[in-house]
């Protein structure tokens, strides 16, 4: 009986490979049991950093270069020897992605080759070779690089991309894919001009490659993954979303990034009906949503989304939208509405009547509304503080300029703050990538075809896991 059951189940999983893998991975995607506690801790850390900065201003004539009130930046930039202690960055995340270890305690991997000519047999020294390795790696760049991807860059778990000290651009086919993995840090990278790719074999580990159907063209695609931190990146002009997180992904922090020139910026949640996304927990902090953005900053389905101390300087339709009854906790943000009188509202309930969304828990606490912007709150007891979305009083909104002043890529090729180089390369670490349009983030926005697609192959590891699970559960069912 168990042998036949195993054969049947293997056949089913082979037909619906990604769904099967998601089912097995679901046990690992456990959300935090008290998301309000995480939101409270974020605000406590912000308020503590703001208080330190204000105290410093009162006691010193010269303001410190490191105490900005931004707890993430203050954590590592106040270390004068940070460039020799790069892995200390892994201790600086806040919010739901704070447990992302990246490649902490792993070896340093130096990317010496910017080519990406073979997605099945990548050369040692390339970024693709680094990200598929099974062991933790802290990946660094000794010089400026433009990496034009031939196919999706599929990561293995426990990796950090640390672009500090170099001008690193990732463009091309599919861009970054985080699928059924955990513990990823992406820091100080330009990601833009990402296009659809696929209908090709792509390697995801040293022992496995598989056929990939056509990708969406996301800048960063998070699919069934957890413990992810994306910090100080600049993202623009991708075919699909700049950052999408779907299929039960959780434990995510998106911080200090600069978003621009795009239509549908960020999607959180696979669909209204996909119940595992109810456990999605995302912190969106200290980002600058800049010029030529249209909507989805983010667009949420289910889950708990904490939007704290961001600067929304432009949208054309709306800033924050949702469906499927997500919890949205907006604290200490600055929302600057466009001049269009029909687009002043920050929020949008997507294709949902008021009779349904009036019970959704959407709160605005300490936000600053500019140029007629307004936030439509909802939920039980809307006229008073609603404890399910309320954390602590955000005192930091008045310092929003300081909190987001360094959003996006830092250092060489970034917006400000020159940083220490990892090493010396052909360009000496100096700006000088040339005038090719692919080295800039300034593109006009495009629409996107929002279709999540599934992997075409099932990793061999899940078949023995299936049989093992069946052999364990069948004796139990016989007792029922």
Contact yes or no for 144/137 (Cβ under 8 A):
no
Could you confirm whether 296 is annotated as catalytic? yes
Structure tokens given for 237: 């002009």
293 and 319 Cβ atoms separated by less than 8 Å: no
Catalytic residue among 21, 296, 301, 448: 296
Q: HSE on the CB side for 275, CA within 13 Å?
A: 1
Q: Which residues of 366-387 are buried (b: 16+ CB within 10 A; e: fewer)?
A: bbebeeebebebbbeeeeeebe
Quick one: how far is CA 65 from the chain centroid? Answer: 27
Angle between helices 2-15 and 17-25 (to 10 degrees): 110
The count of other CB atoms within 10 Å of the CB of residue 393 is: 13
Cα(281)–Cα(268) distance, integer angstroms = 9
Report the Cα 309 to chain-centroid distance in Å. Answer: 16
Q: Which two tokens stand for residue 386?
A: 């609603």
Q: Kindly list the catalytic residues.
A: 296
């Amino acid at each position: 009986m168990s042998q036949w059951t195993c054969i049947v189940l293997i056949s089913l999983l082979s037909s619906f490979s990604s769904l099967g893998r998601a089912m097995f991975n679901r046990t690992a995607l456990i959300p935090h049991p008290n998301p309000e506690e995480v939101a409270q801790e974020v605000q406590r850390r912000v308020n503590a950093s703001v208080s330190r900065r204000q105290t410093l201003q009162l006691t010193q004539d010269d303001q410190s270069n490191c105490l900005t009130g931004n707890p993430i930046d203050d954590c590592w930039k106040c270390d004068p020897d940070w460039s020799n202690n790069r892995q200390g960055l892994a201790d600086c995340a806040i919010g739901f992605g704070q447990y992302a270890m990246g490649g902490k305690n792993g070896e340093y991997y130096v990317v010496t080759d910017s080519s990406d000519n073979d997605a099945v047999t990548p050369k040692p020294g390339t970024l693709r070779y680094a990200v598929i390795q099974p062991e933790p790696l802290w990946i660094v760049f000794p010089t400026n690089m433009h990496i034009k991807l031939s196919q999706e860059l599929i990561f293995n778990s426990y990796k950090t991309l640390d672009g500090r000290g170099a001008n690193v651009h990732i463009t091309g086919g599919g861009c970054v894919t985080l699928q059924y993995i955990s513990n990823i840090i992406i820091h100080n990278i330009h990601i833009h001009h990402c296009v659809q790719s696929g209908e090709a074999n792509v390697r995801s580990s040293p022992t496995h490659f598989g056929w990939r159907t056509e990708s969406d063209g996301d800048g960063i695609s998070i699919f069934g993954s957890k413990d992810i931190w994306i910090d100080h990146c600049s993202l623009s002009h991708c075919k699909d979303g700049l950052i999408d997180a779907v299929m039960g992904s959780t434990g995510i922090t998106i911080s200090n990034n600069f978003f621009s020139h795009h239509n549908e910026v960020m999607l959180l949640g696979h669909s209204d009906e996909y119940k595992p996304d109810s456990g999605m927990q995302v912190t969106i902090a200290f980002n600058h949503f800049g010029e030529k953005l249209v909507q989805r900053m983010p667009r949420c389905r289910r889950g708990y989304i904490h939007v704290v101390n961001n600067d929304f300087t432009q949208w054309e339709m709306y800033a924050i939208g949702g469906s499927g009854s997500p919890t949205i906790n907006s604290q200490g943000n600055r929302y600057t509405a466009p001049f269009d009188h029909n687009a002043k509202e920050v929020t949008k309930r997507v294709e949902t009547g008021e009779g349904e969304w009036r019970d959704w828990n959407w709160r605005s606490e300490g936000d600053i509304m500019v140029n007629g912007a307004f936030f439509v709150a909802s939920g039980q007891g809307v006229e008073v503080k609603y404890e399910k979305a309320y954390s602590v009083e955000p005192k930091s909104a008045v310092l929003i300029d300081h909190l987001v002043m360094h959003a996006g890529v830092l250092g060489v090729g970034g917006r400000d703050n020159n940083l220490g180089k990892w090493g010396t390369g052909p360009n000496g670490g100096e700006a000088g990538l040339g005038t090719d349009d692919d080295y800039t983030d300034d593109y006009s926005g495009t629409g996107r075809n929002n279709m999540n697609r599934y992997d075409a192959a099932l990793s061999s590891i899940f078949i023995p896991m299936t049989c093992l699970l069946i052999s364990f559960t069948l004796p139990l069912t016989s007792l029922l």
